[in-house]
Structure 1
Amino acid sequence: MSDWNGETQTPRVITGHVISHTGQAGPYEEHVPIPSEAQPGGGHTRGTRPPWVRPSRPRRIARLLVLLLCVLLLTGVGTYAWADFELDRAVALGADGDRPPRGKGTTYLIVGSDNRDGLSERDRKDLHAGGGGGGRTDSMMLLHTGAHGTTMVSLPRDSWVTLPAYLDPGTGKRHRPAKDKLNTAYSLGGARLLVRTVELNTGLRVDHYAEIGFAGFVGVVNAVGGVDMCVDRNIRDRRSGLDLTKGCHTLDGAQALAFVRQRHQEAQGDLGRSRNQQKFLAALAHKAATPGTALNPFRTYPLLGAALDTLVVDEDMELSTLASLFRAMSSVSSGDGRQLNVPVTGAGVSTSKGSAVQWDTVKAKRLFTALRNDRPVNIGEKG
C-alpha cells in the first residue's frame, strides 16, 4: 500500500465498536496506514507530535480558578506591602512617664484635622477650606473596643480642658498647665500635645492615634461612591458651603466635608456637629466595608490611595490594627456599638478664650472610668 508520497506503508488493524444509526453497537475494523519510517527497519524516524486534545471543560475551569487565585494572592501581597510602606507613622505617643496606666481593651483617638496638604487653590475655594496651612482639629473621637463591644465618644473641639505643661518646639519656651479649648492643643503642640491633653482630662491611655486631613477625607468619600445621609430639615450654611434639602442624599466628598464641618445651623452648635460627625463616619466605614466596595478593585485602590495620602498614625500602628479600628467603626453603624457625646453641663459657656463647652465632671469621670476598666457604659449609673 502506498501513500501520496509513494512510500510503502503497512496496514494496521484497529478493532472496536461502532454505533450504527439504529443505536446498536457493532464490531468494526479499520485499516490505518503506518508510515514505513515508523516501522522496525524502516530507516530514519521523523519526529512526530501527538495530536492536540482540547482540555475538558472541568479542567479548563480548574486551570482558570488556579490562575485567578495566584493573581489575587500576588495582588493582595503587593497591596499590603505598598500600604504598609505608605502608612505615615509620624506620631510618637511617648513612654510611660506621666501617661495614665494601660487600661483594658484598646482605645483609639481619631482626629479630623484641617490639614490642607494635597489641595489646590481651586480645591480650597470649592471646599470653603480657606487659605491657611492648617493646624487645627475639626473633629476628635475616642473609640474603645473591648469585651463589651465598641463605644465611640465625641470630644467637642471647644471643650474647656486643662492643657498639660509643654515645650514650644518653635521658641524653646516651656509653658505651664493652663485652661484652654481642646483644639488649641493641636495648634500649639501637634498630635503629641493633643494626645497628652486628652489623656490628662479623661484618665484614659490612648493606645493608638489616627488623623486624616481635608484632602484625604474628600478622596475617601469619593472613592466609595458617596455616602447616604438623611437630614430632618433644610440646611444651608454659607461658611461650610453645605446646601441640603430635607430628606436623604448621597453625599460626595465636598458635600460630606461641609456636612461634618458645619455647626452654625445646629441648635447645639459644637455638640450638634459632633453628633453629625459620629453619624457620618460610622456610615462611611459601613459603606467602605460592603462587598460592592471592599471587593471591587476599582474602588478599593482609589480608597486606599486617598486615605494614605493624608493619613497620619502613631509609630506602633500596624495595618492589622488599623483594619481593626475600621471594623469597629463599621460595627457602630450596624448597631453593634454605642455613639455618645462626652456629658456636658452646658455649651456656649463664657471663658477667657471665648465661648466653650463645659464637661459634666461627675458623669464624664464615670464614663471614662468604665472605658478604662472595660466595663459596660452607663452614664446614669452611680459610683
Structure 2
Amino acid sequence: MGGRPAAGPTRGGVRVRKGRVAALVAGLVLAAVLAWPIGLLIWANGKLEHVEALSGAPGTPGTTYLLAGSDARGEGISEDGTEGARTDTIMLLHAPPSGPAALISLPRDTYAEIPDNGPHKLNTAYSWGGAPLLVRTVEGLTGLTVDHYVEIGFGGVEGIVDAIGGVELCLDYDVNDPKSELVWTAGCHVADGHTALAFSRMRYSDPKGDIGRAERQRQVIGAISAKAADPGLLLQPGDQVSLLDAGIGSLTVDESTGIIDLGRLALAFRAANGPDGVTGTPPIGNPDYRPGNIGSTVQLDPELAPQFWSDVRDGNLSPGPVGGLPQP
C-alpha cells in the first residue's frame, strides 16, 4: 500500500543493455582477431631451430641476410654422389638504408678464400665448418657483414610447395635429368613439391650450369613467396598453420633471429624481386677457372666485383637483373 511497483525495463534500458552486449561481442571478436596472429607468431617462434652462425664482425650499412639451402643427405633425394652435408644454394639478400633491395645468388663453386683454410669452392666452407665458416667466408668475399643467417633443408622446399598447392614455374626447354630427377616439357607448368625441388637443383642438363640453376632457384623462391602472400590465406587458419609448420619445421636460423626478423626478410625478398629490386649474380670473370687441384670453379671478376659489392651495400645499383655469364 502506498508502495510503488517495481518498474520494468524501459526501452532506453533495453537499448543500453543491447549496446553493452554489442560492445562486448565486438571486443571479443577484436580480441580473437588479434590473438590468432599473435598466438600463431608465438607458436611459430618456438618452433625455430637456432644455431650459432654469426661472426660478430662490425656491422655494415643496411640489413644483410645469408640464405642457404642445405642437404644433409639421407632425405631420399638423389644427386651427384657427394658425401656429407653441403649447401647448393647460397644467396645474399641485402636491404640498404636507401635504394633498391638486392637478391644476389652466389654460385656454389665460386672461388673464395676460406678463413683458416685457404682458397677453395665457396660451398666447401659449409662442408668444412657449417654455418659459422660459411658466414665468415661470404663476409670476406663480399665485404658485407651478415646480420641474419637462414638455412632451409632441401626437403623443406618440397613440403612448403605442397602446403600451398603447388607453384607455376617456367623453363623454355625439355629436360630429362636423372641426377636431379627433373622431367620437364618446355613451357610453364604447375609443379608439386618434388618437381619444384628438382627444378631448383638441376644443373647438369642446364647449358648455363650453376648460373642457370641460380636463376631457377630464384624463380622457385619468388613463386613460393607470391603464392604464400595471397590475401586469401588470411581467411584460412588451417592453411596458415600447415604452411608455417612445413616452412619453419625445415628452417635453421642464427641465435638472434626470430619470426619477426623472418617477416622482415620476406618483405625485403619481395622488394628485391619486384620491379624496383635487383636480382642476379656478381660479375663473373671466368665460369671455368681451374686453379691448382681444386677443379673447375667460378671466378668473380676481380676488377668489377669490389665495386659491385659496394654498390649493393649502398643501394647504388639500378633496378633490374645484374651479373650473369661474361659476354664473349
TM-score interval for Structure 1 and Structure 2 normalised by the shorter chain: 0.7 to 0.9
Q: Which segment is superposed worse, 209-218 or 366-375?
A: 366-375
1:244 aligns with 2:184: yes
Of 359, 363, 367, the residue aligned with 2:300 is 359
1:115-138 per-position Cα deviation (integer Å, ceiling 9, x unaligned): 357x4xxxx1xx436898851001
8 Å CA contact 1:286–1:334 kept in 2: the answer is no
- Gap change, CA 1:92 and 1:264, over 3 Å in 2: closer
- Gap change, CA 1:134 and 1:59, over 3 Å in 2: farther
8 Å CA contact 1:240–1:258 kept in 2: the answer is yes
Superposed, which structure 2 residues align to 1:336-355 within 5 Å? 336-351=276-291, 352-355=293-296
8 Å CA contact 2:100–2:272 kept in 1: the answer is no
1:188-222 per-position Cα deviation (integer Å, ceiling 9, x unaligned): 00000000011111111111110000222211111
The count of aligned residue pairs is 316
SS of 1:277's equivalent in the other structure is helix
SS of 2:169's equivalent in the other structure is strand
Distance in 2, Cα, partners of 1:207 & 1:90: 14
Distance in 2, Cα, partners of 1:106 & 1:266: 33
Cα RMSD (Å) of the superposition?
Answer: 3.2
1:368 aligns with 2:309: yes
The runs of 5 or more residues in structure 1 that have no matched partner are: 1-38, 166-176
1:158 aligns with 2:109: yes
The runs of 5 or more residues in structure 2 that have no matched partner are: 324-328
Identical amino acids, percent of aligned pairs:
40
Q: What is the identity, as a one-letter code, of the residue corresponding to 2:111?
A: W
More helix per residue: 1 or 2?
2
Of 58, 66, 69, the residue aligned with 1:109 is 66
- Gap change, CA 1:334 and 1:201, over 3 Å in 2: closer
Q: CA shift at 1:62, angstroms?
A: 6.9
Using structure 1 for the length normalisation, give the TM-score: 0.74
Distance in 1, Cα, partners of 2:272 & 2:170: 17
Specify the structure having the higher radius of gyration (Cα).
Answer: 1
1:266 aligns with 2:206: yes
- Gap change, CA 1:353 and 1:130, over 3 Å in 2: closer
Q: CA shift at 1:56, angstroms?
A: 12
- Gap change, CA 1:222 and 1:294, over 3 Å in 2: farther
Partner of 2:326: none
SS of 2:304's equivalent in the other structure is helix
Distance in 2, Cα, partners of 1:293 & 1:132: 39
8 Å CA contact 1:347–1:357 kept in 2: the answer is yes
SS of 1:92's equivalent in the other structure is coil
Using structure 2 for the length normalisation, give the TM-score: 0.85
Q: CA shift at 1:370, angstroms?
A: 1.4
SS of 1:361's equivalent in the other structure is coil
Distance in 2, Cα, partners of 1:250 & 1:65: 42
Distance in 1, Cα, partners of 2:145 & 2:172: 37
Distance in 2, Cα, partners of 1:132 & 1:79: 38
Distance in 2, Cα, partners of 1:89 & 1:210: 9
Distance in 1, Cα, partners of 2:281 & 2:46: 35
8 Å CA contact 1:116–1:215 kept in 2: the answer is no
Q: What is the identity, as a one-letter code, of the residue corresponding to 1:71?
A: A
Superposed, which structure 2 residues align to 1:1-383 within 5 Å? 65-96=26-57, 101-116=58-73, 119=75, 124=76, 127-128=77-78, 134-146=84-96, 147-165=98-116, 177-351=117-291, 352-376=293-317
